[in-house]
A and B are shown apart, each in its own frame.
Chain A
Amino acid sequence: MSHIVQIEAQVRDPVAIRAACSRLQLPEPLFGSAKLFSGLREGWIVQLSGWRYPVVCDCNSGQVDFDNYEGHWGERSRLDAFLQRYAVEKTLIEARRQGHSVVEQPLADGSVKLTVNVAGGAS
């Protein structure tokens, strides 16, 4: 036992973006330029359900650009669901790449719990 870390996710992996969109049954993300209200943005374009403008993920900076006009042009909860699924998919990809097995479990409060069994070599 030993430590607890809080992490704020940055969106940097197109493979995990694609997996998150697939899991949430969103259209396949495309790379390119998209028009938001505040101007053009380039990156991976994700179209959330009910959102007027797409969300644009800049995988170089990890930043996610969006215009939802404080909820009038799209519910914030849709973006949060995408960010949550991205974090889950990215963790699954990296854990498996390290040779660890992972068990995924939804929790009652809407969180997702991932239990990573660390292979012997990583101790």
Chain B
Amino acid sequence: MKTIEIIVAPDGKTRAETFGFSGQTCREASRFVESALGKATSETLKPEFHQATSSQQQSTRQ
């Protein structure tokens, strides 16, 4: 199941976290939240992002 969890704080600041995606696909999926609400002030890549990207690069080289 691919989900995006969005927490809107009492002052309107928003935090979006993706689950179940691999590599860059999470960025594409959550882009609508960013474009809908405004500008992203920070982005943190979780370890899974790099793992998925790395394995994709390896399979591309083979």
Nearest-neighbour CB distance to chain A for B48, whole angstroms, equals: 4
Interface membership of chain A positions 95-117, coded 1 if the CB is closer than 8 angstroms to chain B and 0 otherwise: 10010000000010111111111
**Stretch from A25-33, A37-45, A47-55, A82-90 at the B interface:** A82-90
Q: How many residues of A contact B (CB 8 A)?
A: 41
**A87→B15 CA distance, assembly (Å):** 11
Q: Does A123 contact B (CB under 8 A)?
A: yes
Tell me the dominant secondary structure on chain B's binding face: mixed
Q: Is the CB of B11 within 8 A of A1?
A: no
**A91→B14 CA distance, assembly (Å):** 10
Q: Is the CB of A113 within 8 A of B7?
A: yes
Q: How many residues of B contact A (CB 8 A)?
A: 47
**A109→B41 CA distance, assembly (Å):** 22
Which residues of A have CB within 8 Å of B35? 94
Q: Which residue numbers of A lie inside 8 Å of B, CB to CB? A: 1-10, 12-13, 62, 77, 80-84, 86-88, 90-91, 93-95, 98, 107, 109-118, 122-123
A-B residue pairs in contact (CB < 8 Å), sample of 23: A2-B45, A2-B46, A4-B17, A4-B46, A5-B15, A5-B33, A5-B43, A5-B44, A6-B13, A6-B40, A7-B39, A7-B41, A80-B12, A81-B10, A84-B8, A84-B11, A94-B35, A110-B9, A114-B5, A114-B7, A115-B6, A116-B3, A118-B4
Q: Which residue numbers of B lie inside 8 Å of A, CB to CB? A: 1-23, 25-30, 32-46, 48-49, 52
